[in-house]
Amino acid sequence: MDTFSRLKRSEIMQRVKSENTRPEMLLRSLLHRRGYRFCLHRKDLPGKPDIVLPKFHTVIFVHGCFWHRHKKCKRATTPRDNRLYWAKKFVRNTENDKKHRRDLKKLGWRVIVVWECQLKKPDRVLYAVDKKLRIL
Ligand SMILES: [Zn+2]
């Protein structure tokens, strides 16, 4: 269901694929406080990952649930108007994501995806990241 007004929708659209989104900033500050050191948006890597942890040879993507179609997430709504447009856009986004993950893995990077909605429970996200990086 599309509950956004036209104006709100265009505001949201302007944030598409923008860097330094709120969830991303949140995760960055969590990781930083935890002692992780990282670089941001490395343009030489597939998909320009949001966070790059060189020491762990790991990249982290912070995905918005709507744009990147978080499965079974209530934020992954589909706007009522222009369904075909949205369907195409979503397919393109998810296919790009998949390709970037594959290419990064081929280059030897470990890939972690953190969903926007998961950041409502930051402790869990940090725990999952620690585990993936095997520092726990
Ligand atoms: Zn979600």
pLDDT at residue 123, rounded to an integer: 93
Rounded to whole angstroms, the Cα distance separating 133 from 117 reads 21
What is the Å distance from ligand 1's center to 69 Cα? 8
Q: How many CA atoms lie within 13 A of 49 on its CB side?
A: 28
What is the Å distance from ligand 1's center to 113 Cα? 11
First to last CA, the chain: 41
Binned average pLDDT, 10 residues per bin, the chain of 136 residues: 61 60 90 92 91 95 95 94 94 97 97 96 94 81
**Domains in the chain and their CATH numbers?**
6-125 (3.40.960.10)
What is the Å distance from ligand 1's center to 36 Cα? 24
Q: What is the pTM of this model?
A: 0.83
Burial degree of 115 (CB within 10 A; 0-12, 13-18, 19+): buried
What is the Å distance from ligand 1's center to 68 Cα? 9
pLDDT at residue 15, rounded to an integer: 54
